[in-house]
């Protein structure tokens, strides 16, 4: 646990820009709530949703490949079956971290990330981890 805590602490401390894949326009959905929290905490959020023009007051991007700026974390709110393709896209854009939200795991995506020196976190909520570490360390 301590190893994971230090890894997550380092990720959160050293990251500025988070692309949120699968973020919803619906303010009641976890992805939107998480994005709003991270934006409020000072992270630069890039909403990635092909069916939205604007989320959280920020223009939405259709796919990771359309992002033309440095991304530190690719935060994933899509089914586990899509994680490997999203990880491939994260590699293409030079992301440092692939983060799969609660309930999302994919061993092939994890192996792919590790092979490409990308940190990988799965089955954890980025916002909850931020809150926990902020209050406990």
> How large is the average pLDDT for residues 35-46?
97
For residue range 90-129, list pLDDT tens digits in order: 999 999 999 999 999 999 999 999 999 999 999 999 999 9
Contact 61, 87 (CB under 8 A): no
- What are the tokens at 120? 């990988």
Distance CA 128, CA 114 (A): 24
Is a pLDDT exceeding 50 seen at residue 53? yes
Place of tokens 């069916």: 51
Tell me the Cα Rg of the chain: 14
Q: Categorize the per-residue pLDDT at 88 as very low, low, confident or very high, splitting at 50, 70 and 90.
A: very high
Mean pLDDT of the chain: 94
Give residues with Cβ within 8 angstroms of 131, minimum separation 6: 37
Contact 109, 87 (CB under 8 A): yes
Per domain, the residue ranges of the chain are 2-136
Could you please state the CATH topology (level 3) that the domain comprising 2-136 is classified under: Rossmann fold (3.40.50)
Distance CA 90, CA 17 (A): 13
Is a pLDDT exceeding 60 seen at residue 1? no
């Amino acid at each position: 646990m301590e190893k994971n805590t230090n890894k997550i602490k380092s990720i959160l401390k050293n990251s500025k820009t988070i692309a949120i894949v699968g973020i919803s326009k619906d303010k009641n959905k976890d992805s939107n709530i998480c994005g709003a929290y991270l934006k409020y905490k000072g992270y630069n959020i890039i909403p990635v949703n092909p069916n939205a023009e604007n989320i959280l007051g920020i223009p939405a991007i259709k796919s990771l490949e359309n992002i033309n700026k440095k991304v530190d974390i690719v935060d994933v709110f899509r089914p586990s079956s899509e994680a490997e393709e999203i990880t491939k896209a994260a590699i293409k854009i030079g992301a440092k971290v692939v983060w799969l939200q609660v309930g999302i795991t994919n061993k092939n995506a994890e192996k792919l990330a590790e092979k490409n020196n990308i940190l990988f976190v799965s089955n954890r909520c980025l916002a909850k981890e931020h809150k926990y570490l902020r209050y406990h360390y």
